[in-house]
Amino acid sequence: MITVLAGGVGAARFLAGLAQRVSPREVTAICNVGDDFEWHGLHVSPDIDTVIYTLAGIEGELGWGLRDDTRVTLAALAGLGAEAWFGIGDRDLATHLLRTERLGAGVPLSAVTAELARAHGIEVRLLPVTDDPHPTMVLTGEGELPFQEYFVRRRAQDAVRGFRFPGALDARHAPGVIEALREAEVVVIAPSNPFVSIDPMLQVPGVRAALEQTRARRVAVSPIVGGQAIKGPAAAMLGALGHEVSALGVARLYRGLIDTFVLDTVDATLVPDVEALGMRAVAIDTMMQGDDGRRRVAAGVLEALDVSPS
Amino acid sequence: MITVLAGGVGAARFLAGLAQRVSPREVTAICNVGDDFEWHGLHVSPDIDTVIYTLAGIEGELGWGLRDDTRVTLAALAGLGAEAWFGIGDRDLATHLLRTERLGAGVPLSAVTAELARAHGIEVRLLPVTDDPHPTMVLTGEGELPFQEYFVRRRAQDAVRGFRFPGALDARHAPGVIEALREAEVVVIAPSNPFVSIDPMLQVPGVRAALEQTRARRVAVSPIVGGQAIKGPAAAMLGALGHEVSALGVARLYRGLIDTFVLDTVDATLVPDVEALGMRAVAIDTMMQGDDGRRRVAAGVLEALDVSPS
């Protein structure tokens, strides 16, 4: 059994590769909900949807949304004077309608997520880290912004000073989350943003402790390659918050949480510094272009742990 | 000032003609909400939307929805195994999203309707008869069905035994409704279904009394022409409920509520029987094809009352 702590695009691609290297029924993804927000009254779970769409092989060209989706409703909303800065496509909209309808009927997010995954034929088990509201707030020079306001509406242009998780204390881990960490043979921290994808999950009471105490082998994959984030603001956040903008900077954040750190071959010179933190470090090609790349990275991570693919 | 009791397509076409014959600012439409229903968590107000779209000149080919709309989201919902029997188009969806978002924020339906009308550049004042839930239930051989289940899902195939208005006793008339009836110079009962468009409005406490007591001249336009409904199940309902299936059958339903009854020239032979009910009867061409037809019918109704268009 392999449990993956998953953010958005990077995690989704990793999971898609993993589900081709091992039986998808042996994989559980614990998903970040810190990016969730309300779009014209609909509950949108961007990270969960990115994982679902990518595992279903229908994700958009940039990794999120749906491939070749149209935006008729979005244009009509704009025409009526409504906010239209978050680009929801017409086919994508069906997911948000169904999710919101089911949540409104009292079904918890974890059960709705399982329903949506099933409707897409996905065999990987997807668990939102919590069924409770647990938004990521970004502290910036312009004040505190909900994640999507910071990331999409303002295009991540504001200097980041920190994060706040107002729901964290009251959020209960969703059913199965703690067991998935405790009972796994391997826990993978996916190549996701440590601050706004992984940390929000660790903030849910019990999750960090379960990761610290599990007997699983624990490995993280660096989302930083050659000092750049593959996608998104991870590098800018590392710098703004005073961390080294490198795979080593990420490895430091995960000290005590992992035994093995996988970084890209272009960062192979950092291996001794990472190992000096008290963890193994393994350099592989972490680029996940295409199905081949995804499978190769999943295989490389498992080999770094000496886990033979089934 | 002219107040129109309005159902769906017939009323919308009449209003579109009227708004070209008199200043639209002098016209108030009181709109039926008995057809309102929830579509995947969204509040849909079919009659209000038909009036808005028709007054904006963007209504669909069959009189409802939007012209040349696409149905990408609907198809995606069906693909996910969700119910898709009510055909909401992609541009249309923007209206339902905005309405639901605003209702969720605590804005009453009357205020949301005014916002949507304004966004469409409509100067006719639109008032839902009530801001409260007030659904029309259709009693059939198959049991009691919400209106859209009867009308759209089951294609009006069930024998109708009657109607029930479970919200009627608790529904309060929306702000302005009673004044619009009391202070009007003319009240028009539009060519709408008497049972499921007009009667639901009269069931809201205070509305029937205001119509009975107003000093306005009151006129109804027959939705039945030559024994057939122009649109929808009005003729079948008249027959199923033991009424004469003709304009005369409709006029009988409106006894005490109107002073003048406008029927089609093909039914001119019914004029003496209608007048025997204690109301004037005027036969005109009531067909509303195209803008010309709509204007002609509005002018004919005003002339029947000897009201000169401004």
- How confident is the model over B193-237, as pLDDT tens digits? 999 999 999 999 999 999 999 999 999 999 999 999 888 899 999
Q: Mean pLDDT across the stretch B49-70?
A: 96
Q: List pLDDT tens digits, range B265-275.
A: 999 999 999 99
Q: Mean pLDDT across the stretch B272-294?
A: 96
Of A75, A93, A104, Cβ closest to residue B73: A93
How many helices (DSSP H) and strands (DSSP E) are in chain B? 13, 14
Cα–Cα distance, A87 to A82 (Å, whole number): 13
| β partners of residue A189 | A5, A220
Beta strands in chain B (DSSP E): 2-6, 27-31, 37-39, 42-44, 125-128, 137-140, 143-146, 160-164, 186-189, 217-221, 224-225, 228-229, 260-264, 280-284
Chain A nearest-CA residue for B77:
A94
Hey, are the CB atoms on B76 and A93 less than 8 Å from each other? yes
The confidence score (pLDDT) of residue B306 equals 79
- B21 CB burial (10 A radius; 0-12, 13-18, 19+): buried
Cα–Cα distance, B69 to B87 (Å, whole number): 10
Q: Mean pLDDT across the stretch A255-276?
A: 98
Hey, are the CB atoms on A77 and B98 less than 8 Å from each other? yes
pLDDT of A157 strictly over 50: yes
DSSP string covering A147-166: HHIIIIISTT-SPEEEEE-T
Hey, are the CB atoms on A98 and B40 less than 8 Å from each other? yes
Contacts of A121 (CB under 8 A, 6+ apart): A56
Cβ contact A297:A14 at 8 Å: yes
How far away is chain A from the Cα of B119, in angstroms, using its nearest Cα? 6
pLDDT of A61 strictly over 80: yes
CB pairs under 8 A between A and B: 87
Cβ contact A307:A186 at 8 Å: yes
DSSP string covering B283-306: EE-----HHHHHHHHHHHHHHHTT
Of A76, A91, A92, Cβ closest to residue B94: A76
Chain B nearest-CA residue for A116:
B80
Hey, are the CB atoms on B41 and A91 less than 8 Å from each other? no
Q: Mean pLDDT across the stretch B73-98?
A: 97
| β partners of residue B221 | B262
Cα–Cα distance, A210 to B213 (Å, whole number): 73
Cβ contacts of B106 on chain A, cutoff 8 Å: none
Going by pLDDT thresholds of 50, 70 and 90, the confidence category of residue A10 is very high
pLDDT of B310 strictly over 70: no
- pTM (2 decimals)? 0.92
Hey, are the CB atoms on A77 and B97 less than 8 Å from each other? yes
Cβ contacts of B92 on chain A, cutoff 8 Å: 76
Structure tokens at A47: 């990270």
Chain B nearest-CA residue for A68:
B72
Structure tokens at A100: 């919101």
The confidence score (pLDDT) of residue A310 equals 45
Length of chain B: 310
Domains recognised in chain B with CATH numbers: 2-138+167-304 (3.40.50.10680)
pLDDT of B309 strictly over 90: no
The confidence score (pLDDT) of residue B307 equals 56
Chain B nearest-CA residue for A120:
B80
**Cα angle A252-A258-A260, degrees, rounded to a multiple of 5:** 95
More confident residue, B131 or B307: B131
Mutation for testing the B interface, residue in A70, A72, A116 having most B CBs under 10 Å: A72
Chain B nearest-CA residue for A78:
B94
Share of chain B above pLDDT 90, in %: 96
Q: Which residues of A touch B (CB under 8 A)?
A: 40-42, 69-70, 72-73, 75-77, 79-82, 90-95, 97-98, 100-101, 104, 116, 119-120
Going by pLDDT thresholds of 50, 70 and 90, the confidence category of residue A264 is very high
The confidence score (pLDDT) of residue A309 equals 45
Mutation for testing the B interface, residue in A73, A88, A115 having most B CBs under 10 Å: A73
Q: Mean pLDDT across the stretch A202-217?
A: 98
Q: Mean pLDDT across the stretch B81-94?
A: 96
Of A41, A79, A90, Cβ closest to residue B90: A90
Specify the range with the lowest mean pLDDT, choosing from A230-234, B57-61, B160-164, B244-248.
A230-234
Hey, are the CB atoms on B116 and A80 less than 8 Å from each other? yes
Give the torsion through C-alpha atoms of A245, A249, A251, A255, to 10 deg.
-160
Cβ contact B283:B267 at 8 Å: yes
**Residue B189 identity (one-letter amino acid):** I
Cα–Cα distance, B184 to B1 (Å, whole number): 5
Q: Mean pLDDT across the stretch B102-124?
A: 98
Going by pLDDT thresholds of 50, 70 and 90, the confidence category of residue B137 is very high
Going by pLDDT thresholds of 50, 70 and 90, the confidence category of residue A307 is low
Cα–Cα distance, B191 to A38 (Å, whole number): 41
Contacts of A32 (CB under 8 A, 6+ apart): A6, A7, A8, A47, A129, A192, A196, A197, A198, A200, A201
Cβ contacts of A114 on chain B, cutoff 8 Å: none
Question: CA quadruple A197, A199, A205, A208: dihedral positive or negative?
Answer: positive
